[in-house]
Each structure stands twice: as structure tokens, then as C-alpha cells.
Amino acid sequence: MPQTDQFSYQGLFAKSAPKEPPRAATAERAKYDFAVAYPDPESLPLDDLVESLKLALDEEGKDLAVYPHQMGYPPLREYVASKLARDRQMSVTADDIILADGSSQPLHMVGESLLDHGDVVLTEEFVYMGTLGMLRRFGADIRGVECDEDGLLPDALEGAITRAIGQGKKPKFIYTIPTFQNPLGWTMTLERRQALVELSQRYDIPVLEDDCYVDLRFEGESVPAIHSLDDTGRVMYAGSFSKIIAPGMRLGYLTGPQELLDVARATKSGGGVNQFAALAVHRYAMSGLDAHIEESKGILRTKRDAMLAALGENFGTAAKWSTPEGGLYIWLEMPEGADLVAARDVAFEAEVGYTPGSLFAPDGTSGKNTARLCFGYNTPQEIHEGIAKLAEVFAREGMLIG
Ligand SMILES: Cc1ncc(COP(=O)(O)O)c(C=O)c1O
């Protein structure tokens, strides 16, 4: 029957409502899926999580009848604080931690707490799309700062700061993913972190450190958290269980000075985080998580090695790529003039998915000749096959000349 009285929300949407729909809720996936960052599906600790949940529910399941603590399940906040102290030398207590839906929500909370339309935010020249989306949502003037394989270039950062100040637009904060950067793959060195803290203190600009990959180091020395290098409260820090357990758990956290946390907490509606998930993750974190992280790192290392070897075999000297010491991403750089935005659909037809680099650019267009390749999902054998297919596609498109 034709709907004659169909109601329309057009005209009712808030001025601040998102103008663009988000990515399709269930995006189509390629067989060789290097596009999205999934953990290895085969090694998800499902049995251990079920057991942990059962244990927790036996002990305190009836508490699910009441709303959880607004900052999130206290024992899990205790665990996070002690993990940050143990692994990142950060001096925080459970009262300094807010649990949230992954680390996306903490980033959003910071954006909502600090950003007015037009505020300048400085960040790496290519950066996680979710953060870009959030910053755009709050109308931020996002300025990418030049990096090399050691991280943000201090001179470039200072130049961006003084330029913005000269325009009467002192940056609200600096956002960085210093460890196994998404999408670039590098880890910011200690010297660069110290320089960043020094600039933050000198110009009075806070830093938002997004460290969701830090536990996935399978090579090289750990580098101290930026948060641990500052004792002035200028560094906010977001972390997540997504990359060490599973994104489906939707659990992460934010820490920072209390005055920031108080406002951030007020931006979060809904009353605490999912207690059901928090109970399972807490019991699991107290027992099997460290061993699981070790196992995941071994698997990821094998997959990274498979991708590096396949790139070497199939791309030779025709392209450049990063060699990350951890995390999930390799950054591929084809010669200037290559258009990996246009080639994405062709690659998808050939069953290979990747994310064009320009989607990570604050201006949305730079880096057409680049792409992010995730090595977390497919098996090493599939990675070899997929990279070979990708090279075939690029050769057919006239982009692989070497
Ligand atoms: C750098 C970075 N930050 C935050 C997130 C958000 O992840 P989650 O909300 O699942 O913790 C991601 C996801 O890929 C990411 O790459």
C-alpha cells in the first residue's frame, strides 16, 4: 500500500547533526581484507571470556539489577590503573580512570568537552579516520603536521603552533597516536615525545595521547608514554581493550586531570559502561589476558612478516612501505601520480581490500599514492595471495613500474 502520510524528519535535524551518514553499518568485505583493523578471529579467547563472565556473575551478577558506577566498574578501573602503572609508568589511580565504549568514546568525550566550532587541533599528517570524523563533527580546524619515521617533527609542530597563534587561533590540543601509529605504523621516539611535552608545556597546549596499540609490541624496546613524561596535567590519555581482547567488547578508558574528567564524564549519557562486559573483562584481565597478549603478538608478528615478505616479492623497488615493530598496519607508498583512491574499487573486484591513505589526511585529499594495509585478519598464506593480487591490479592500472 502506498504510504501517503509518511513522516519526514527533514527540517527537524539539529544544525549540529551530522550531515553525512556514517559508513554502511555492515561494509562489504573483501576476501583479502587489508582494509579494516581486525584482530585475528581464530585466537579470540572466547572460552576464557565465557568462564570469566560465569565466575563474575556467580559472585556479583545480582548487581546488574542496579545501574553501574558512572565512571565504570570500580575493580576494572583498579586493574586499568595498575596496568598503566606497571606497563606505562603512569601514576594514576582508579579515581583517575573513566571506562567508556572503546577508546572512540573517550576521544569523543574530549572533543565534546574542549572543542568549539573553528578550534584548531594539531595532529599527525595522516591519522585515524574515527578521530578525524569526531573532530569534523565538532567543527575543528584540523591541521596535519609533518612527520618522519620517528614521529611528529618538533620544528614542524612548533611552526604549526606559532602559525595558529599568529592567526589568533591557539590550538586547543594536539592529538597523537605515538605508538604503532594508525595508519603510518611508526612509533614516536623518546626524544620526540620529550620534545612534544616541552612544546606542550611551553605553549600551554594539552596533548591527547591515543595509545590503543601499545600492548601489541612484538619487536624492539618499549617507549615511555607521553603521559608519564609530564607532571603538569597537560596530557590526556585514551586506551582500549579492543586491540587486546576484541573490538566487540566495546571497552576502553580515558585518564587525565580531574577537572577534565569531570566535564568529560558529564558529556557521557547512559550511566556508566556495560557492566556485563566489564565483569567478563575484569575477571579475564586478572587471569588470562597477559598470556593472551603474548600469544596475539606472536601471531601478529608472523602476519606482519608475511606481509613484508609478500611486499618485497611483489613490489620490489616499485614502492616503499613501513616496517612496524608492532600494531596492525603497514603504510604503503607508491610513486607520485599513482591513484590508490581510484584503484580501490578495481582491487576490491579482485577480492583485495585496502584503505586509501587520503582517507586519513586531515584535508581528505593528500596522499593519493598511499594506502594503509592491515595484516591482522587474514592468514599468512592469504596475505601472500592477497598482496600478489594487489600487485597484479596495480600493474594492470599502470602503477607498478619497477
Ligand atoms: C588510533 C585509534 N584510536 C581509537 C580507535 C577506536 O577503537 P575502539 O573504540 O574500538 O577502542 C581506533 C580503532 O581502530 C584507532 O585505530
pLDDT at 1: 57
The residue whose CA is least distant from atom 6 of ligand 1 is: 104
Q: Where are the domains of the chain?
A: 32-45+291-396, 60-289
CA angle 51, 52, 58 (to 5 degrees): 90
Who contacts 73 (Cβ-Cβ below 8 Å, separation ≥6)? 99, 272, 273, 275, 278, 279, 282
Burial 72-87 (b: 16+ CB within 10 A, else e): bbbbbbebbbebbeee
How far, CA to CA in Å, does 88 sit from each of 143, 256, 272, 301?
28, 14, 25, 22
pLDDT at 85: 97
Distance from the CA of 250 to the center of ligand 1, in angstroms? 10
Distance (Å, whole) CA 164 – CA 145? 12
Query: Which amino acid is residue 401, in one-letter code?
Result: I
Look at residues 242, 130, 137, 229 and name the one whose alpha carbon lies nearest to residue 175.
130
Look at residues 318, 367, 320, 322 and name the one whose alpha carbon lies nearest to residue 340.
367
E strands, 178-234, in order: 207-210
Mutate to test the pocket of ligand 1, among 103, 108, 250 (most ligand atoms within 8 A of CB): 103
Distance from the CA of 398 to the center of ligand 1, in angstroms? 34
pLDDT at 43: 83
Who contacts 231 (Cβ-Cβ below 8 Å, separation ≥6)? none
Look at residues 361, 315, 359 and name the one whose alpha carbon lies nearest to residue 341.
359
The two beta strands, 32-33 and 352-353, are parallel
Per-residue pLDDT tens listing for the chain (402 residues): 566 789 999 899 988 888 776 665 556 789 999 998 877 778 899 999 999 999 999 999 999 999 889 999 999 999 999 999 999 999 999 999 999 999 999 999 999 999 999 999 999 999 999 999 999 999 999 999 999 999 999 999 999 999 999 999 999 999 999 999 999 999 999 999 999 999 999 999 999 999 999 999 999 999 999 999 999 999 999 999 999 999 999 999 999 999 999 999 999 877 789 999 999 999 999 998 999 999 999 999 999 999 999 999 999 999 999 999 999 999 999 999 999 999 999 999 999 999 999 999 999 999 999 999 999 989 999 999 999 999 999 999 888 766
pLDDT at 3: 62
Distance from the CA of 103 to the center of ligand 1, in angstroms? 6
Look at residues 293, 300, 185, 187 and name the one whose alpha carbon lies nearest to residue 244.
293
Displacement of CA 232 from its chain's centroid (Å): 25
Query: Which atom of ligand 1 is found nearest the CA of 181?
Result: 1
- Other Cβ atoms less than 10 A from the Cβ of 2: the count is 4
CATH of domain 60-289: 3.40.640.10
Query: Which atom of ligand 1 is found nearest the CA of 104?
Result: 9
In 3-state terms, what secondary structure has residue 49? helix
CATH of domain 32-45+291-396: 3.90.1150.10
- Other Cβ atoms less than 10 A from the Cβ of 52: the count is 22
Distance (Å, whole) CA 397 – CA 339? 9
pLDDT at 72: 95
In this structure, what DSSP letter does residue 249 have?
A: G
In 3-state terms, what secondary structure has residue 270? coil
Distance from the CA of 130 to the center of ligand 1, in angstroms? 7
Distance from the CA of 212 to the center of ligand 1, in angstroms? 6
Burial class (CB in 10 A: 0-12, 13-18, 19+), 256: buried
Task: Identify any residues that bridge with 148 across adjacent strands, giving them in sequence order.
Answer: 151
163-169: long-range contacts (C-beta < 8 A, 24 or more apart)? 164/120, 164/122, 165/203, 169/118, 169/119, 169/120, 169/141
